[in-house]
């Protein structure tokens, strides 16, 4: 179905793997379009509850495809950036949780792709960075915006201005990733996390994601109102009735995504 990705759903988990190992999984226009389509399929698939995004081989995504970018003029570069933002924004706002399993290089567009995911788990061998200014460019797939929201404005400027590449431990220290594990533990850790999320009420998880994403840039008064409305909305589900009943009856809840 996809030329540059692998897509598989197993036991409720959608495994989406960027599959251009010969190019260190660099993001070209084809990959961006297929990532959008893969996540649209994930969002619509009732059998898929959580997605794990990773890269084939020794790289997560080493960056945008420089060979493609080097040929672009200003108008074409804007269109390429818009395509990147379309994909990253879609991944960020898909209704279900997305875990980035960062197995290796996550540079430039790869770092930006990881930041569009809800949670980042990194192999101890992973490397992160936004090296664009070393090429006379700036991050164009959301890096100047998401990085500062994750690690703070000062650290984002430090990383972008210097084009420094940092290891997984440093990425964890500054809040760019949520957890660092040994390489062989990466996928098992992500799968365990996915299963833990899937054990909770899926409608509530989706509502919580919407509230977090949309409230983040609001003023506190507006964000509080969003949470109040989202809290009320969660009471309309059968899963809420099942969850509260199970708690009171001291038994495991059986959620049905209704």
What confidence score (pLDDT) does residue 82 get? 97
**One-character DSSP codes across 201-224:** -HHHHHHHHHHHHHHTTS-HHHHH
pLDDT given at position 66: 86
Domain match, 210 and 193 both: no
Do residues 81 and 178 share a domain? yes
Residues in contact with 83: Cβ distance below 8 Å, sequence separation at least 6, in sequence order: 29, 32, 33
**249 noted as active-site residue:** no
pLDDT value, residue 1: 83
**In this structure, are 178 and 99 located in the same domain?**
yes
225 is catalytic: no
Q: How confident is the model at residue 230 (pLDDT cuts 50, 70, 90)?
A: very high
Domain extent at residue 194: 5-198
User: pLDDT tens across 49-80, in order?
Assistant: 999 999 999 999 998 888 888 899 999 999 99
Q: Please check whether residues 181 and 234 belong to one and the same domain.
A: no
pLDDT on residue 67: 85
Tell me, yes or no, whether 66 and 166 share the same domain: yes
CATH of the domain at 35: 3.90.226.10
Average pLDDT over residues 158-171: 98
Tell whether 73 is covered by a domain.
yes
Token digits of residue 111: 């770092």
Find the catalytic residue in 92, 112, 192, 249: 112
Instruction: Give the pLDDT confidence of 245-257 residue by residue, as tens digits.
Output: 989 999 988 898 8
CATH number at 209 reads 1.10.12.10
In a domain, 257, yes or no: no
Of the residues 34, 56, 132, 191, only one is catalytic, namely: 132
Residue with tokens 């009856």: 249
Q: At what angle do helices 109-116 and 143-151 cross, to 10 degrees?
A: 60
Q: Name the band, by pLDDT with cuts 50, 70 and 90, for residue 119.
A: very high
């Amino acid at each position: 179905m996809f030329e540059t990705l692998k897509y598989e759903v197993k036991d409720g988990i959608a495994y989406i793997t960027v599959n251009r190992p010969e190019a260190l999984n660099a993001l070209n226009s084809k990959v961006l379009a297929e990532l959008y389509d893969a996540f649209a399929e994930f969002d619509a698939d009732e059998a898929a509850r959580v997605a794990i995004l990773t890269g084939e081989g020794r790289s997560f995504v080493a960056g945008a495809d420089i060979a493609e970018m080097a040929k672009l003029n200003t108008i074409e570069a804007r269109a390429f950036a818009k395509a990147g933002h379309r994909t990253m924004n879609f991944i960020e706002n898909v209704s279900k949780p997305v875990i980035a399993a960062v197995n290796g290089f996550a540079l430039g567009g790869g770092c930006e792709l990881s930041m569009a995911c809800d949670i980042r788990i990194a192999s101890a061998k992973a490397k992160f960075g936004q090296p664009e200014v070393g090429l006379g460019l700036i991050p164009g797939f959301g890096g100047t915006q998401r990085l500062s929201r994750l690690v703070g404005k000062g650290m984002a400027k430090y990383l972008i201005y210097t084009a420094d590449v940092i290891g997984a431990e440093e990425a964890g220290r500054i809040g760019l990733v949520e957890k660092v594990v040994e390489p062989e533990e990466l996928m098992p850790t992500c799968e365990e996390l996915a299963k833990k999320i899937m054990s909770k009420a899926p409608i509530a998880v989706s509502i919580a994601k919407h509230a977090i994403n949309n409230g983040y840039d609001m003023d506190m008064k507006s964000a509080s109102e969003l949470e109040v409305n989202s809290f009320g909305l969660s009471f309309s589900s059968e899963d809420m009735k099942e969850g509260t009943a199970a708690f009171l009856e001291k038994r495991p809840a059986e959620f049905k995504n209704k």
